[in-house]
Amino acid sequence: MPGLVARRRPVVAAVVWLGMVAEYIRYDKEHVWGAVLDMLKFLFCMFRLPFAWRSSENAAGSWRGMRRAAIALSMLFAGLTYRHD
């Protein structure tokens, strides 16, 4: 299990970094580039979705449904937090 957690950290770090950079760019009045980075963050999450969905098959029992619900909610959240100014 520790190896599985260690593999996911770069994905989370990349998504958080893209979101932070997009906000800093927006503060500099470059709204278009902020939107481009937000879209890149969303596409990165969409690229990761099939891999996360397939890996949720390894969960036992009711955990599979909980993992898939968490994946769906995270994609919904990523879509709702996309800002277009």
First to last CA, the chain: 41
Residue 85, domain member (yes or no): no
- Domain of residue 61, residue span: 2-80
- pLDDT tens per residue, range 6-60: 455 677 778 788 888 988 898 888 888 888 888 888 888 778 777 777 777 777 7
How many domains does the chain fold into? 1
pLDDT at 1: 46
Cα–Cα separations (whole angstroms), residue 65 to 53, 73, 84: 11, 12, 32
Residue 9, domain member (yes or no): yes
pTM of the prediction? 0.60
